[in-house]
Structures are given as structure tokens and as C-alpha cells.
Amino acid sequence: MIAELSFGVAAAVLLAFMCVSMLRLAIGPTAADRAVALDTINTLVVTTMVLLGAAFGQVIYVDVAIVYALLSFVGTLYIARYLEGGLK
Amino acid sequence: MTLWGVLQVITLVLVVVGAALAVWLRDLLAAVIALAASSLLLSLEFYLLQAPDVAIAEAGIGAALTTAIYILAIRKTRRKEEE
């Protein structure tokens, strides 16, 4: 009970960090700011998934976070390649 | 309302904020980034509803595939939206 509560509070704090990153994504002047904000949200989502997998007590939930960490990298890679001017 | 309910409400508010940003922003690359963030948080919401298989599908299609296809389309056309 106590462990579940502490995991939930930690997830709530990470969601508050996501709110701040979403603010940067909204007001960011350049596209690079928004890309960095998206990458920060990516990392926070993966962290929250691992945390909730520990809270729910299911090992299979951590696999979702691993797949997610692999896939979110591809999106950031495409944005970075576009900003660099490549991507023929 | 339980603690998990509070987490779900915060996640859904962030999903709606991301979707509204994707509509409001005039820079199409910024709109694609906002759409990717919205899709990401929708995947977290599926995860919170204890449906990890749906979360994997949403992550694969929403985060990776949709962003890549939209950015390739912006590359082929133009970046700024016209009035």
C-alpha cells in the first residue's frame, strides 16, 4: 500500500514535469526548442512507464517501456535530420 | 477520486493540450511535433488503463511512423502554412 502510494506520487511529479515541457513545446521560439521538449517528454513517459510497471507489479509492462524507448528515438531522429537539412 | 484517477486526468489534459497545439500552430513542423507529443501521452493513457498491447501499437504508429511520414511530406512540400 505504502509502496504503491509512493510510486503514484512519483508518477504525479513526473507528470508535472511533463506539463512544464509541454509549456516549452507551446511557446518555444524555434523548432529546435520544440524538438528538445518532445525528447524530454519522451524520456519522462518511458520513466513513468517503468515506474508504473513497478507499481502494478507486472514484468511484462517494462517490455512496453523498452519498445517505446526504441521507437521514440526514431521520431526524434527524423526531426533532427530534417532540421539539419538532410533527409533526401 | 483515487491517485490513479488523478494521474489519468492529468494525462488526458496534456493530450488535449497537445492536440489543440497541433491545430493552432502555423508552423507545420511544430504542429507535427505537438501531434507526436499528444500521441505519446495517449499511449501513456492506454498504459494507465492497463492495456499494454494497445500502448505498444499506439507508440509504434503514433510516435515513429506518423512523425516520419509527416516530416517526409513537409520536406517534399513547404513548411509554413499559408493564410
pLDDT digits (tens, 9 = 90+) for B36-72: 999 989 998 998 888 888 888 888 888 788 888 888 8
Q: Determine the structural domain holding residue B57 and report its residue range.
A: 3-78
Nine-digit cell at B43? 499511449
Tracing cell 515541457 back to the chain, one arrives at: A21
Residues of A within 8 A of B31 (CB-CB) are none
User: How many structural domains is chain B composed of?
Assistant: 1
Q: Is A66 in the B-facing interface, judged by CB distances under 8 Å? A: no
Domain presence at residue B42? yes
Contact B48, B4 (CB under 8 A): yes
Domain presence at residue B83? no
User: How many structural domains is chain A composed of?
Assistant: 1
pLDDT digits (tens, 9 = 90+) for A46-78: 999 898 888 888 888 888 888 888 888 888 888
User: Which of B29, B36, B50 is opposite residue A31, by nearest beta carbon?
Assistant: B29
The shortest C-alpha distance from A50 to chain B (Å) reads 11
CB contact under 8 A, B47 and A61: yes
pTM of the predicted structure, to 2 decimals: 0.88
CB contact under 8 A, A22 and B55: no
The shortest C-alpha distance from A10 to chain B (Å) reads 11
Nine-digit cell at B25? 500552430
